[in-house]
Structure 1
Amino acid sequence: MTKLTLSLAMVLILSGCANMPLFGEQDSDKPQRKSDNRAAPQMHVVNIMSDPAYLSADYNQTTEQNDLYGSEPADALYGNGSGNNSRIMTKHVGDYVQNMTQDLISNMEYLTDKTPVGVTNFALIDSNLQRTNLLGFQLTESFMHELHKFRIPVIDFKATDYIRVTEQGDFLLSRDFLELTEQTPIEYILTGTLTKHQGGYIVNARILGLQSKAVVASAQMLMPFYVVDALLPSEHNMVDGVQLTQGE
């Protein structure tokens, strides 16, 4: 009786051990439970076509089709920087002058890196050729810069022989012909005209001999209104920088 009881006890012990899982395999057949049962944060999706924070000038400029010289279409919104619809220009008059200078150089004759050149203001073509505007003034400055980049000697005949020190500033340039040198070593002149067009200004540029009056280079380009209008006059009595002024 004792042996039978002991045998039954051993059988029960062995059966229980067989049903127990091995060490390290307690959860091998069960799905792993996440240690953090919190819900994952949702992705914040923004519609850039409706969110005003994304409708900035930089974004719109990359999505709109630019013209051949990098400026935006004429129907884009522009301003003088004070209105809500103002947009910052990325191209200016100098970028158009750069292309015109390349045209001048490509068909230029007789000029060398030893030929002094002067640059005058561009005159309004429907005037007596003695009037210009803010665009005509800026074209002079831009062409002087571009010609110098091509190593063409440029003579600034508006430079005086002295520096005028005033309360408003220190100045070397002057538009008073009585303060300027009568004789300058200029052999050729870069000049031109401005024609108001429905889409902007037609800029006609040419280089001609000061004595022979022969045209040795020429270029022409339409400068859009939205590029010209970006020029802001410093005088309050000027409107859009097109007040007629006495030219040179």
Structure 2
Amino acid sequence: MNALFKRTAKCTACILATSMLALSGCSMMLGEEEVAVEETSRPAMNVVDIMAIDRPSPQKEDDDEQSNEHEGMDAFGAIGQPTLYSSVQGAYKGRPLTKHIGDYVKNMTQDLIANMEYVNEKTPIGVTHFALIDTNLQETDLLGKQMAESFVHELHKFRVPVIDFKATDYIRITDGGDFVLSRDYLELSSSLPIDYVLTGTMAKHQGGVLVNARILGIESRAVVASAQMLVPFYVVEALIPSDGSQKNGMRDGVKLSRG
């Protein structure tokens, strides 16, 4: 009887132990499931593998820069300027100019005034076109003509008396406009109170046009002032002929004229 009671108690203890172990195992499994649910409910971290980023090759970067420049942007993506600044045939193509031929004439005039002798407010000056140095000195171009016009302006600013010998004593009214200037020597005065004349020559240089300016005495032919400057090609090419560039009388893309 005692042995049967001990065996029954031992079996009951085993059953209780087994039940407790099963319950603890279920609780442990439940805890793992809860942890798994919590982990899946958390937001995923935005981790980027910098080593796996597709970096552009140097050749691709050069191609992108050329494409940006072609589209009017520089290498930093800034909007650039258009490459064409006039619809006129033969217009200057490039970046906007910060200086024009008048700025170079201004500097040359200052040099002339700095070393000028004998010329004063009572000695009128005439200004002629600048001749091409490698010709018979009877040919000029648009640059030589515009330089003469700019020198008239600059000399007048220094209060040096300038005589415009191309002015007639009447105004010609035509269908093309009203004019007082002429290149016909028969329409001009043969005697003018000019004591000195500003003239010069031009020579093409590797970087532009080399301009030599001087003031001469009409009677003595003495040089009383001189100046020299290199005008860059991009400033020269910014001058656009009004009659186009496909006519006769062209030399190296420049229309020549006499006088």
In proportion to residue count, which structure has more helix?
A: 2
Partner-residue secondary structure (3-state), 1:205: strand
Confirm whether residue 138 of structure 1 aligns to residue 143 of structure 2.
Answer: no
Q: State the superposition RMSD in angstroms.
A: 2.2
d(CA) in 2 for partners of 1:154 and 1:235? 29
Deviation at 1:81, TM superposition (A): 2.5
d(CA) in 2 for partners of 1:119 and 1:226? 25
The amino acid of 1:81's aligned partner reads S
d(CA) in 1 for partners of 2:122 and 2:178? 31
2:180 is matched with which residue: 172, 177, 199?
A: 172
d(CA) in 2 for partners of 1:193 and 1:233? 20
d(CA) in 1 for partners of 2:113 and 2:97? 28
**1:21-36 → structure 2 map (5 Å cutoff):** none
**1:147-166 → structure 2 map (5 Å cutoff):** 147-166=155-174
Deviation at 1:49, TM superposition (A): 4.1
Count of residues in correspondence between the two structures? 180
Q: Which position in structure 2 is the counterpart of 1:81?
A: 86
Partner-residue secondary structure (3-state), 2:255: coil
Contact 2:92 2:237 in 1 (8 A): no
- TM-score w.r.t. structure 2 length? 0.65
- TM-score w.r.t. structure 1 length? 0.68
The structure having more radius of gyration, on CA atoms, is: 2
C-alpha change, 1:84 and 1:157, in structure 2 (3 Å) is closer
The amino acid of 2:102's aligned partner reads G
Contact 2:118 2:224 in 1 (8 A): yes
Confirm whether residue 111 of structure 1 aligns to residue 83 of structure 2.
Answer: no
5+ residue gaps, structure 2, are 1-72
Regions of 4+ moved over 3 Å: 47-50, 82-86, 237-241
d(CA) in 2 for partners of 1:206 and 1:120? 11
C-alpha change, 1:212 and 1:228, in structure 2 (3 Å) is same
**1:1-248 → structure 2 map (5 Å cutoff):** 49-52=75-78, 54-56=79-81, 81-82=86-87, 86-236=94-244, 237=246, 242-247=254-259
Partner-residue secondary structure (3-state), 2:103: helix
5+ residue gaps, structure 1, are 1-46, 58-77
Identity among equivalent positions (%) equals 64
d(CA) in 1 for partners of 2:238 and 2:85? 7
